[in-house]
């Protein structure tokens, strides 16, 4: 059951339609028809507009893969980096200019294979940024190889027979790292995803957002309707406490029958990385505003 | 005697560092110019280590392999270092039992060495100190053997332990006992005046250069011999307000540095060859998106783990040919802590003005070696960022970012500072950063980026000549720490009536050749001096020009060039 945007929000969005259109590209989009990236990009644009962020207020950092190929199809300050490194690059950017919201996007390969160490330390350090994992359970841009989230039994390019190694339970992994914000959305539910993006933008610290993303070309194991018939919402769970790590971990265990979406876990008690830097407490400027000669006499 | 050299040898972690520091500080306060290298294995405790110090009334830059005096803190170092003592030198030790170091002492005897010995543990205990203070007894003995006055060393020991009055009292008694019970052997002249110098090591100089240049973020993963740059940055952080962060690996270090630079601050990182291997993909990205990046490579002998705590100049090729694809880059090499302060600032300016990655090379032999140098001149080098600022920001259009220009340099502005925006795209792109794989625009963009290499080459300073520019009996071309040994040698041979000169490269790549060609024309006997096996700079020069070196002085055993290496080579080739 898809979550619909409330009327008030929809009206607000309609009123700000010109701002939305500003981010639209006139270039040819290279995603396949039915790709989950359309919905994700749409939700992102809406969230930015609803949160009142202008172009000067945010920067988007894209990893390599199908998601990354949208980097120049979003009319704003974007960065298209190297495979597996976008968390680090975006973290450096976020620390340099805390006055801009930094959002980073990556697929399965970057998040759980080539760059998994950066994910571990990004969460651990609680860098002030949003990280979005496009989980489409395969490597799309290299034409359908298995990823760390591909399910057993799937027949994938480059894997003899079928996939025989169990996938990583992504949220369990992240929840084990003492995160401060863990949410899951679905590319087929743009309204709900918009809300999750908004919450992530409001979060101070490392916001981890996983998006279950349909890949009509290469992921035939869990297509759009497979997810649509299984997703549930934590908002509908009576008495669910999103501050309870064990409740979150219990919820995250099921990847097959009832797949929960929403803000699954939040810890507002842990400070973000910048707030923990004692030598910068009370500093009002961002690092980008501080480049000048510094007297070194006292350091000698 | 005007110039003398000593080695303080002992177990790593056995108080050697603090003893070395006390000696250096005392000598500096007396007005001596100093070079002091730390030699040690890649261990924290248990290995041998030594401070190799040369002091002189005149400025001094390099070391000689054999020293006038060795102070051996334990029997192991006696054995390890006795060969480094010159014939007729002085051996200061404090072995309690004759059996310890017997072999070494026999060796020393055969060399005509003067032995200065006291049972230092016993003396320390007798003087009211503890066993740990036997080093201080030894220090007093050494000081007296050198013929130096008591007051300066007393002052420095007092300074060192002033916050521990009880220890201080005992330490001073131990020092005095060692001093009083030793005969004066050498008769070192005290400098007539005390020059204004600072005692500085290469890594600290680089850290200070970065701080002065307005670097606001330092990212690191520890690796010898770059690690102390992180230590300095962390220790400075309270005063500088710099963001200093040790991160999970060198890949992340380079990525975070680049991300911070992209946003418009100045960020910096340092590593050694192995760590830099991991960073090279980011160097390539910096080349592609034309984002400034400054990475310091502190060289140690490789391949692989190699010799982590020893020195070399073997990563020039690594820096020049690092990373996939063709793009403009700059390689700079520091030579000593004085030029390191300036060159680090230049590195940031060139990186930003030309929007390129800059590799700043140093060496273990510079990184952790102390020199007395003049105080730095601050604000001599303006901060040049090459950024669009002020009113012009309103006139920018997206396509300005990677505009195809004649000199290859396009406009750069801080993201968010203008209505104009762009895609920093690791894919080949058009002028606003939009992806393209079309043949014509791709080739135009590649050529634009490469044109920066020519523009940069024009802008770079020529190499510098030491000694008379022409008609030398023997000439050398080199880079990095070779400058130090050459400066000493030129002075030494001038006194002997032999003309030696030296052409020194700080800006290594792209290679400037005008002064080099003139140097070859005006000098008939030009040799290469390099701390690697292949002669990497030599090969570059011979490939880029029709010049040919008469000979090559190459060293690749982890040790720096000593004066005696040069004497041997010059005497055979002059």
Q: Does A238 touch chain B (CB under 8 A)?
A: no
Give the containing element (helix H, strand E) for B505. Answer: strand B500-505
If one counts every other C-beta atom within 10 angstroms of the C-beta of residue A199, the result is: 19
B193 within domain boundaries:
no
> Which residues, 6+ apart, have CB-to-CB distance to B492 below 8 Å?
B563
Q: Which CATH number fits the domain that encloses residue B564?
A: 3.40.50.920
Number of domains comprising chain B: 4
| Total residue count of chain B as it appears in this document | 574
Q: What is the DSSP string of B67-105?
A: EEEEEESSHHHHHHHGGGEEEEEEEEE--SSTTTTHHHH
Determine how β-strand B330-333 pairs with β-strand B357-363: parallel
Q: What's the rounded Cα separation, in Å, for the pair A137 and B328?
A: 38
Domain of B280, CATH number, reads 3.40.50.970
Contacts of B246 (CB under 8 A, 6+ apart): B219, B220, B221, B222, B230
Cis peptide leading into residue B460 (ω within 30°): no
The pLDDT tens digits of the residues spanning A83-94 come to 999 999 999 999
* CA neighbor of B356 nearest in space, from B412, B400, B435: B412
Q: How far does the CA of residue B249 sit from the closest CA of chain A (Å)? A: 9
- Residue at B261 is within a domain: yes
- 3-class state of residue B298 by DSSP: strand
For residues B44 and B175, state if they share a domain.
yes
Task: Kindly state whether residues B431 and B558 are assigned to the same domain.
Answer: no
Contact yes or no for B455/B409 (Cβ under 8 A): yes
Which member of A95, A100, A299 has the closest CB to residue B208? A299
Min Cα–Cα distance to chain B from A73, Å: 8
Q: Which two tokens stand for residue A12?
A: 């607000």
Query: Six-digit token pair at B550?
Result: 């008469």
Contact A126, A272 (CB under 8 A): yes
> Does domain A7-299 fall into CATH 3.30.450.40?
no
Chosen for mutation from A56, A287, A298 (greatest number of chain B CBs closer than 10 Å) is: A287
- Enclosing domain of residue B472: 464-573
Q: Do B214 and A290 touch (CB under 8 A)?
A: yes
CB B186 within 8 A of CB B5: no
Asked if residue B140 belongs to a domain, the reply is yes
**Is residue B112 located within the same domain as residue B210?**
no
Helical H segments across chain A, by residue range: 7-15, 17-22, 36-50, 86-96, 108-109, 116-125, 170-175, 190-202, 224-228, 245-253
Please say whether the beta carbons of B561 and B491 come within 8 A: no
Per DSSP bridges, beta strands A58-62 and A101-106 are parallel
Contact A100 B217 (CB under 8 A): no
Cβ distance of B211 and A296 shorter than 8 Å: yes
pLDDT of residue A2: 63
B129 with B49, same domain: the answer is yes
B541 found inside a domain = yes
Q: Reduce the DSSP state of residue A262 to 3 states and report it.
A: strand
Spatial strand order of the sheet with B500-505 comes to B464-466, B500-505, B474-479, B526-530, B551-554
Q: Is A285 on the interface with B (CB under 8 A)?
A: no
Q: Quick one: which of B32, B279, B276 has its CA closest to B146?
A: B32
**Residue B474 and residue B327 share a domain:** no
Residues 245-284 of A with CB under 8 A from B: 277-280, 283
Which residues lie below 8 Å from residue B543, measured CB to CB, with a gap of 6+? Answer: none
Query: How close B148 comes to chain A (CA, Å)?
Result: 27
Choosing from B434, B459, B484, the residue where a domain stops is B459
DSSP string, B22-42: HHHHHHHHHT-EEEEEEE--S
8 Å CB contact between B409 and B400: no
Check A290 against B216: CB less than 8 A apart.
yes
How close A120 comes to chain B (CA, Å)?
9
ipTM over 0.95: yes
Mutation pick from B199, B263, B264, B425 vs chain A, by most beta carbons of A within 10 Å, is B263
Per DSSP, the three-state class of B363 is strand
CA-CA-CA-CA dihedral for B192, B193, B195, B196, to nearest 10: 160
Q: Assess if residue B187 is contained within a domain.
A: no
Subunit contact A92:B260, Cβ cutoff 8 A: yes
- Segment 81-110 of chain A within 8 Å of chain B by CB: 81-82, 85, 88-97, 99-100
| Angstrom distances, CA of residue A52 to CA of A37, A183, A190, B419 | 23, 21, 19, 16
Using CB atoms, pick whichever of B208, B216, B415 lies closest to residue A296: B208
Predicted confidence at residue B17, as pLDDT, reads: 80
* Residues comprising chain A, all counted: 300
Which residues make beta-bridge pairs with B333? Answer: B361
Q: Cβ B429–A75 below 8 Å, yes or no?
A: no
Of A96, A292, A299, the CB nearest to B260: A96
Determine how β-strand A207-212 pairs with β-strand A181-186. parallel
Q: Is residue B59 part of a domain?
A: yes
How far is the alpha carbon of A13 from chain B, nearest alpha carbon, in Å?
Answer: 23
Interface of A with B in 213-232 (CB under 8 A): none
Measured between CB atoms, does B393 come within 8 Å of chain A? Answer: no
Residues 6+ apart with CB under 8 A from A92: B217, B219, B255, B256, B257, B258, B259, B260, B261, B262, B263, B267
| Of A64, A92, A295, Cβ closest to residue B267 | A92
CATH number of the domain to which B106 belongs: 3.40.920.10
Of B117, B146, B180, which marks where a domain is finished? B180
| pLDDT attached to residue B42 | 72
Give the containing element (helix H, strand E) for B297: strand B293-299
Q: What per-residue string of b and e applies to B73-101 under the rule 16 or more CB within 10 Å gives b?
A: bbbbbbbbbbebbbeebbbbbbbeeeebb
Q: Which H or E run includes B11?
A: strand B3-11
Strand B85-93 relative to strand B423-425: parallel, antiparallel, unpaired?
unpaired
Q: How many CB atoms lie within 10 A of CB B471?
A: 11
* pLDDT in the model for residue A283: 97
pLDDT of residue B358: 98
pTM to 2 decimal places: 0.97
C-alpha distance from B286 to closest chain A C-alpha (Å): 10
Residue B330 dihedral angles phi and psi, to the nearest 5°: -130, 140
Domain shared by B273 and B309, yes or no: yes
Per-residue pLDDT of chain A (300 residues; tens, 9 = 90+): 567 889 999 999 999 999 999 999 999 999 999 999 999 999 999 999 999 999 999 999 999 999 999 999 999 999 999 999 999 999 999 999 999 999 999 999 999 999 999 999 999 999 999 999 999 999 999 999 999 999 999 999 999 999 999 999 999 999 999 999 999 999 999 999 999 999 999 999 999 999 999 999 999 999 999 999 999 999 999 999 999 999 999 999 999 999 999 999 999 999 999 999 999 999 999 999 999 999 999 999
Q: Are residues B292 and B404 in the same domain?
A: no
The answer to whether the Cβ–Cβ distance between B435 and A72 falls below 8 Å is yes
**One domain for residues B142 and B25:** yes
> CB under 8 Å to B194, separation ≥6 — which residues?
B29, B30, B31
The pLDDT of residue A17 = 94
Q: From chain B, pick out residues whose CB is under 8 angstroms from the CB of A76.
A: 421
What pLDDT, on the 0 to 100 scale, is given for residue B302?
97
Q: For residue B143, what pLDDT is reported?
A: 97
Chain B 240-299, CB below 8 Å of chain A: which residues? 240-243, 245, 247-249, 251-252, 255-267, 281-282, 285, 289
Q: How far apart are CA B208 and CA A281, in angstroms?
A: 23
Clarify whether residues B262 and B216 are in a common domain.
yes
Size of the A and B interface in Cβ pairs below 8 Å: 188
Place of tokens 């071309």: B477
Name the residue facing B216 among A94, A118, A291 (closest C-beta).
Answer: A291
Cα–Cα separations (whole angstroms), residue B276 to B226, B250, B287, B296: 11, 7, 16, 9
Query: Computed over its alpha carbons, how large is the radius of gyration of chain B?
Result: 26
Q: Is residue B269 part of a domain?
A: yes
B377 in reach of chain A (CB within 8 A): no
pLDDT in tens, chain B (574 residues): 589 999 999 887 667 888 999 999 999 999 999 999 988 877 766 677 899 999 999 999 999 999 999 999 888 888 888 999 999 999 999 988 766 778 888 999 999 999 999 999 999 999 999 998 999 999 999 999 999 999 999 999 999 999 999 899 999 999 999 999 999 999 999 999 999 999 999 999 999 999 999 999 999 999 999 999 999 999 999 999 999 999 999 999 999 999 999 999 999 999 999 999 999 999 999 999 999 999 999 999 999 999 999 999 999 999 999 999 999 999 999 999 999 999 999 999 999 999 999 999 999 999 999 999 999 999 999 999 999 999 999 999 999 999 999 999 999 999 999 999 999 999 999 999 999 999 999 999 999 999 999 999 999 999 999 999 999 999 999 999 999 999 999 999 999 999 999 999 999 999 999 999 999 999 999 999 999 999 999 999 999 999 999 999 999 999 999 999 999 999 999 9
Does B47 sit behind a cis peptide bond, omega within 30 degrees of 0 on the bond before it? no
Compute chain A's Rg from CA coordinates.
19
Closest C-alpha among B51, B54, B44, B99 to residue B72 = B51
Q: What are the extents of the domains in chain A?
A: 7-299
CA B66/CA B92 separation, integer angstroms: 15
Residues B339 and B277 in one domain: yes
Whether B384 is in a domain gets the answer no
B294 and B269: one domain? yes
**Using CB atoms, which residue from A72, A95, A300 is nearest to B208?**
A300
Cβ pair B378:A293 closer than 8 A? yes
The two three-digit tokens of residue B403, written as one number: 């505009």
Q: Which of A64, A89, A297 sits opposite B259 (nearest CB)?
A: A89
> What element of type H or E holds B151?
helix B150-160
Considering the domain architecture, whether residues B351 and B305 belong to the same structural domain is answered as yes
């Amino acid at each position: 059951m898809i979550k619909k945007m409330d009327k008030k929000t929809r009206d607000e969005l309609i009123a700000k339609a010109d701002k939305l259109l500003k981010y639209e590209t006139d270039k040819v989009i290279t995603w396949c028809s039915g790709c989950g990236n359309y919905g994700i990009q749409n939700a992102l644009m809406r969230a930015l507009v609803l949160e009142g962020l202008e172009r000067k207020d945010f920067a988007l950092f894209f990893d390599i893969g199908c998601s990354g190929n949208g980097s120049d199809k979003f009319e704003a300050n974007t960065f298209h980096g190297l495979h597996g490194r976008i968390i680090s690059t975006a973290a450096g950017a976020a620390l340099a200019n805390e006055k801009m919201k930094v959002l980073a996007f990556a697929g399965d390969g970057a998040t759980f294979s080539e760059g998994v160490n950066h994910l571990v330390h990004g969460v651990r350090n609680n860098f002030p940024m949003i990280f979005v994992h496009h989980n489409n359970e395969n490597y799309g841009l290299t034409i359908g190889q298995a990823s760390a989230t591909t399910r057993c039994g799937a027949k994938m390019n480059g894997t003899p027979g079928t996939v025989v190694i169990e996938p990583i339970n992504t949220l369990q992994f992240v929840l084990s790292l003492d995160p401060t914000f863990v949410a899951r959305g679905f590319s087929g539910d743009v309204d709900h995803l918009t809300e999750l993006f908004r919450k992530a933008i409001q979060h101070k610290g490392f916001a981890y957002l996983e998006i279950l993303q349909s890949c009509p070309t290469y992921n035939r194991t869990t297509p759009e309707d497979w997810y649509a018939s299984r997703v549930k919402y934590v908002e509908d769970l009576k008495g669910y406490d999103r501050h309870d790590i064990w409740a979150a971990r219990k919820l995250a265990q099921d990847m097959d029958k009832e797949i929960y979406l929403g803000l699954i876990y939040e810890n507002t008690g842990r400070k973000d990385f910048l707030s923990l830097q004692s030598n910068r407490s009370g500093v009002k400027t961002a690092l980008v505003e501080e480049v000048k000669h510094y007297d070194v006499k006292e350091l000698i | 005697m005007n110039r003398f050299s000593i080695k303080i040898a002992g177990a790593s972690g056995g108080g050697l560092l603090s003893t070395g520091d006390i000696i250096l500080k005392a000598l500096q306060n007396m007005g001596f110019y100093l070079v002091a290298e730390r030699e040690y294995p890649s261990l924290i405790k248990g290995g041998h280590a030594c401070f190799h110090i040369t002091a002189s009334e005149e400025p001094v830059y390099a070391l000689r392999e054999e020293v006038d005096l060795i102070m051996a803190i334990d029997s192991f170092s006696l054995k390890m270092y006795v060969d480094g003592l010159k014939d007729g030198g002085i051996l200061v030790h404090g072995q309690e039992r004759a059996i310890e170091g017997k072999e070494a002492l026999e060796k020393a005897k055969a060399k005509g060495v003067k032995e200065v010995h006291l049972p230092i543990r016993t003396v320390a205990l007798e003087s009211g100190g503890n066993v740990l203070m036997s080093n201080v007894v030894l220090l007093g003995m050494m000081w007296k053997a050198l013929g130096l006055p008591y007051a300066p060393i007393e002052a420095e020991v007092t300074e060192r332990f002033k916050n521990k009055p009880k220890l201080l009292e005992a330490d001073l008694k131990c020092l005095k006992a060692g001093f009083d019970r030793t005969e004066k052997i050498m008769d070192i002249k005290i400098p007539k005046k005390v020059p204004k110098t600072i005692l500085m090591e290469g890594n600290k100089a680089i850290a200070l250069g970065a701080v002065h240049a307005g670097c606001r973020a330092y990212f690191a993963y520890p690796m010898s011999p770059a690690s102390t740059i992180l230590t300095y940055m962390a220790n400075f952080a309270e005063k500088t307000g710099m963001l200093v962060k040790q991160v999970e690996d060198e890949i992340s270090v380079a990525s975070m540095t680049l991300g911070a630079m992209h946003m418009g601050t100045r960020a910096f990182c340092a590593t050694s060859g192995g760590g830099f291997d991991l960073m090279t993909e980011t160097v390539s990205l910096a080349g592609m998106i034309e984002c400034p990046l400054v990475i310091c490579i502190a060289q140690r002998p490789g391949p692989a783990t190699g010799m982590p705590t020893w020195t070399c100049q073997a990563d020039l090729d690594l820096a020049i040919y690092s990373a996939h694809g063709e793009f403009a880059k700059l390689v700079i090499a520091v030579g000593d802590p004085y030029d390191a302060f300036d060159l680090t600032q230049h590195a940031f300016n060139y990186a930003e003005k030309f929007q390129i990655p800059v590799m700043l090379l140093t060496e273990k032999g510079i990184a952790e070696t102390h020199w007395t140098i003049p105080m730095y001149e601050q604000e001599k080098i303006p901060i040049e960022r090459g950024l669009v600022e002020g009113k012009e920001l309103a006139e920018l259009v997206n396509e300005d970012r990677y505009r195809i220009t004649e000199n290859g340099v396009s406009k750069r502005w801080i993201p968010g500072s203008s209505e104009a925006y762009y895609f920093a795209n690791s894919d080949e792109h058009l002028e606003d950063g939009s992806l393209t794989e079309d043949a014509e625009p791709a080739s135009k963009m590649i050529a634009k980026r490469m044109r920066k290499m020519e523009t940069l080459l024009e802008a770079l300073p020529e190499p510098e000549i030491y000694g008379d520019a022409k008609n030398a009996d023997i000439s050398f071309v080199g880079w990095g720490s070779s400058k130090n040994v050459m400066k000493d040698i030129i002075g030494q041979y001038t006194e002997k009536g032999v003309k030696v000169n030296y052409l020194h490269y700080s800006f290594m790549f792209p290679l400037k050749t005008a002064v080099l060609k003139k140097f070859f024309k005006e000098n008939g006997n030009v040799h290469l001096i390099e701390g690697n096996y292949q002669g990497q700079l030599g090969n570059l020069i011979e490939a880029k020009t029709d010049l040919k070196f008469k000979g090559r002085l190459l060293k690749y055993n982890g040790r720096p060039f000593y004066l005696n290496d040069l004497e041997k080579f010059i005497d055979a080739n002059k």
